[in-house]
Amino acid sequence: MYKTRKENYAASEVKDKILRARWIDICTRKTKKPPKCELCRYEFQRHKKFRFTNWKLPRVSHRDKCLHIVFFLNLLIMIGCAIATVMCFLSDKGQITKFPKNKVELTTEEIITLACGVMFFVAFFIAMTVEIKAKHTVYKLLMKFIMHNTEWAVDPYDRTKDTGYKGPPQLV
């Protein structure tokens, strides 16, 4: 029923370590500087670890999901147009010199390049408009995802790494 002094001390020491680690974790999440002890100014070392299991996904509204689907579809259209344009440029080598300077007809490659340029512009415009309309952009959601699934590990105090430690106080 009753704990001895030694058991109480051990339990409070474990609780103190947990609270201290939690306090360091909460206080330094948003800062870039390493956490420091308020009394001795010892800099605690911390490390980021990305969780690869049990991911926490950010909440996204149904409207934003639809807008992001439209964004990715337009992104695919833009990639397809860019690839088609490059392929047309590669297949059009040396054909410019065959035709006279005052030609009126367009070749198939030129028509595809022109159509891809127009489609690329329209897709880009729609993609940017959709991302502006969304409450949270794809980039914000990606950053939230990374932040939710990153765990900070704080190394415990190590006297050998503490440059300010001078040993126990001397009694005179």
Lowest mean pLDDT of 2-11, 18-27, 65-74, name the range. Answer: 2-11
Q: Are 140 and 46 in contact (CB under 8 A)?
A: no
Same domain, 79 and 115: yes
In a domain, 75, yes or no: yes
Give the tokens for residue 133: 């309309």
In a domain, 20, yes or no: yes
**Whole-prediction pTM:** 0.61
DSSP secondary structure letter of residue 57:
P
Q: Quick one: which of 154, 146, 150, 158 has its CA closest to 28?
A: 154
Of the pLDDT bands very low, low, confident and very high (cuts 50, 70, 90), residue 1 is very low
In a domain, 112, yes or no: yes
Same domain, 23 and 73: no
In a domain, 26, yes or no: yes
In a domain, 171, yes or no: no
Please say if the pLDDT value at position 122 is more than 80: yes
Same domain, 40 and 101: no
In a domain, 93, yes or no: yes
| Owning domain of residue 25 | 11-54+150-160
Region 68-81: what's the mean pLDDT? 95
Same domain, 23 and 76: no
Q: How many domains does the chain have?
A: 2
Same domain, 131 and 66: yes
Of the pLDDT bands very low, low, confident and very high (cuts 50, 70, 90), residue 21 is low
Same domain, 75 and 16: no
pLDDT of residue 77: 96
Q: Are 152 and 48 in contact (CB under 8 A)?
A: yes
In a domain, 1, yes or no: no
In a domain, 109, yes or no: yes
